[in-house]
Amino acid sequence: MRSGWPSSSVLLAEVIIRSTGEHHLVLLVREGRAVLVLDDLSPVVTPLVDALDRYVIVRADSGTDPQRWTRDVTAF
């Protein structure tokens, strides 16, 4: 949010790292029509379409209800 993204454009997502099988949390950021992945294990901000080579998306914060998570990241 210090980078200027509004909180409404930032969601948590649970992923599985393909190379290790570990579950991990990343941030998804909607910027225009693109969804970006911010991961504290990487210094690079990556478009979601490119990050899917490294991660399996398990679920993501729904963005509308803090107690509801969804598997449909495309609706974000």
pLDDT value at position 76?
Answer: 57
Q: Which residue has the higher pLDDT, 33 or 73?
A: 33
Dihedral (Cα; 3, 64, 70, 35), 10-degree rounding: -30
Residue 33 pLDDT: 87
Does the pLDDT of residue 70 top 90, yes or no?
A: no
pLDDT computed for residue 45 by the predictor: 93
pLDDT value, residue 75: 57
Residue ranges per structural domain of the chain = 7-62
Backbone angles phi, psi at 17, to 5 degrees: -75, 120
Residue 20 has pLDDT above 90, yes or no: yes
Mean pLDDT score across all residues of the chain: 86
Query: Which sign, positive or negative, has the C-alpha torsion 30, 58, 20, 49?
Result: negative
Query: How many C-beta atoms surround the C-beta of residue 58 within 10 A?
Result: 14
